[in-house]
Chain A
Amino acid sequence: MTITVSGNKKEVKDELTVAELIVLENVEMPEYTTVSVNEEFIQRGDHETHKLKEGDVVEFLYFMGGGRS
């Protein structure tokens, strides 16, 4: 099936999970990454079970922040 990852179309196996896609895409710092599918945020606890579908649009949002000291 075809999905869009970070703006690029990609051919992946059917029923690929979010967790599998994170590995496939070599996402650095997955613990600091929020995943959205069709503009819905996927909770970290659901990464293993959330299966992607044909045409899904996936974005990886890297945590950005900082602080004093």
Chain B
Amino acid sequence: MKIYLKKSDYEKILEYAVSELPNEACGLIAGIIRNDGEEEIRNIEKVYLLTNTDHSNEHFSLDPKEQLQSIKDMRENGLTPLGNWHSHPESPSRSSQEDIRLAFDKNANYLILSLMDRSNPVLNSFHVENGESTKEELIFID
């Protein structure tokens, strides 16, 4: 699977995550799934910036009210929910044990933005299944 993210959407996530420091920030991603031969291609067409209802630097939970509004917006725009994203203010861009435990959807893409090194933010996408998190191919496009 290849996942494409527009640089402008990456900037949006980054800007919001920095503005929410020291807390973790989170949101949803939506887009279009297509097949290129055998391979699945996912284009992230829209990123959603949601409230972390935990307001914590160690936890995040998405606000169900905003989740509902986002899902409505995705439907109106013909987009498929693809997964979510959250930031790690002080740790690397990889799934924590708790992130894995609470990742219930094996079809979802879980994006993690590390702000540990503020001059060098890192965004990766993960697939979580059977208690294991695997890094996916995330490609930034103009």
Contact = CB atoms under 8 A, between A and B. Distances in A.
Contacts of A66: 59-60, 86, 95-96, 98-99, 102-103
A62 B103 CA distance: 10
Contacts of B105: 62
Interface residues of A, number: 18
A7 B105 CA distance: 19
B64 A67 contact: no
A65 B67 contact: no
Interface string B85-127: 0101001000111110011110000000000000000000000
A40 to B, nearest CB: 10
Contacts, number: 64
B54 interface: yes
Interface string B71-96: 10001000000001010100100011
A66 B102 CA distance: 6
B40 interface: no
A65 B54 contact: yes
A65 B59 contact: yes
Interface stretch (A17-25, A28-36, A44-52): A28-36
B104 A32 contact: yes
Contacts of A67: 54, 56, 58-60, 96, 98-99, 102
